[in-house]
Amino acid sequence: MDKQTTHFGFESVPMHDKARRVKGVFDAVASRYDIMNDLMSGGLHRLWKRFAIDQATVHRGQTVLDLAGGTGDLARTFAQQVGRSGQVILADINAAMLQEGRRRLIDAGVAGNLSIVQVNAETLPFATDSFDCVTIAFGLRNVTDKDAALRSVFRVLKPGAKLLVLEFSKPADAIRPVYDTYSFKVLPLLGRLIANDEKSYQYLAESIRMHPDQDTLLEMMQSAGFERCRFHNLAMGIVALHVGYKI
């Protein structure tokens, strides 16, 4: 694959076209995104996100960027943790996901210390050294230029601050046959039956396989400037939480 192309699932596409295609996927699934997450993971995604929130150790008065935050699961909790003196920004490239997130946050009574911004992770429009913590949960694999996004996040973090990347990863060999069957047979079927959208969930399964594995992502974070990098495998490596610091 040359520098002018990238992956959209298993398909090779021009780099300039991936964002449009990913937009189409999330435009289609936004209204059923959380329901499908519960069905696909058996509710485990909530435990994975809770683990990421606990590892973030966000405090009152801090500023947090929840990047690719979609419907606002993490941002809602962070807004409670930083309090009135803090600030949380829920950011995503997809307007439909942000609209769904805004609706859910309003219903939850979150206001005042939370802003919603449409951004491209590769070129974040925030000042250097702005955030005490940046999180990106189940979003990095959809970014066209992941290295650029990591560098952009590094720039906007304050010295001593950290990035947390929660993402599907490479599972243990023992469960891979069952996981593959579930991914390529059950997920698209759920997409067709529940969301009336089989293709988007076929893309989900394929995009997970094309995402860098645990060690590769760790190296990418280090190349972007992060130090003290580590990862935690969850559910036998189906999901991994990567953590890195700007020193």
pLDDT at 38: 87
pLDDT at 222: 98
The count of other CB atoms within 10 Å of the CB of residue 108 is 12
| Residue 185 Cα distances to 83, 106, 167, angstroms | 44, 36, 21
CATH of 5-245, one of 3.40.50.150, 3.40.50.10490, 3.60.130.10, 3.10.580.10: 3.40.50.150
What is the H or E stretch that residue 81 is in? helix 73-82
- State the pairing for strand pair 114-118/87-92: parallel
How far apart are the C-alpha atoms of 137 and 1, rounded to whole Å? 27
What is the H or E stretch that residue 163 is in? strand 157-168
pLDDT at 3: 63
pLDDT at 174: 97
How far apart are the C-alpha atoms of 80 and 75, rounded to whole Å? 9
Burial class (CB in 10 A: 0-12, 13-18, 19+), 4: exposed
What is the DSSP track for 164-205? EEEEE----GGGHHHHHHIIIIIHHHHHHHHSS-HHHHHHHH
193: left (phi over 0), alpha (psi -120 to 50) or beta: alpha
pLDDT at 190: 86
Per residue of the chain (247 residues), what is the pLDDT tens digit? 456 889 888 888 898 889 888 888 888 877 777 777 888 898 999 999 999 999 999 999 999 999 999 889 999 999 999 999 999 999 999 999 999 999 989 888 887 899 999 999 999 999 999 999 999 999 999 999 999 999 999 999 999 999 999 999 999 999 999 999 999 999 889 888 877 788 888 988 899 999 999 999 999 999 999 999 999 999 999 999 999 999 9
List, for residues 76-114, the tens digit of each pLDDT value.
Answer: 999 999 999 999 999 999 999 999 999 989 888 887 899
pLDDT at 2: 53
